[in-house]
Amino acid sequence: MKDLNFFEKCYVVAKRVPFGRVTSYGAIAKYLGTARAARMVGWAMNASHGDIDIPAHRVVNRKGVLTGKHHFKGTNLMQQLLESEGIEVKELQIQNFKEVFWDPSLELNGLEDV
């Protein structure tokens, strides 16, 4: 974890997001220590295209809006993936966001040795 670059760190955390739950770019950035680098997390996800192990669709902005949908193949692939996990999405807005939100800084631990 310590000798991983920013991108890889983002991937490590992203992979830990539980099925049917979502987190935000800012939350990941915060967990990584660079709370102000939320934008970079998004960019990292962008670079993760191809890595099917990385559930980039479970990462949204702080409001629970699928701002990154544009970067997925189809026009609504991101939403489909989320819905297939039981997450309700309406007009790019995740419903019951607070319920499905998963904060790595609160529920994640022991990644130092990853």
Binding interface with DNA (CB under 7 A) = 5-7, 24-27, 29, 34, 36-43, 45-49, 56-57, 59, 61-63, 67-68, 70-72, 78
Tokens of 87: 């997450």
Which residue in 80, 84, 83, 85 sits closest to 17, CA to CA?
85
CB of 86 to DNA, least distance (A): 19
CB of 67 to DNA, least distance (A): 4
Which residue in 55, 70, 68, 67 sits closest to 102, CA to CA?
55
Of 68 and 112, the one with the shorter C-beta distance to DNA is 68
CB of 25 to DNA, least distance (A): 4
Question: DSSP assignment of 72-83, as one string?
Answer: SSSSSHHHHHHH
CB of 24 to DNA, least distance (A): 4
3-state secondary structure of 114: coil
**Helices and strands: H and E segment counts in the chain:** 6, 4
Of 5 and 109, the one with the shorter C-beta distance to DNA is 5
Of 18 and 92, the one with the shorter C-beta distance to DNA is 92
Say how far apart CA 114 and CA 93 lie, in whole Å: 33
Of 20 and 46, the one with the shorter C-beta distance to DNA is 46
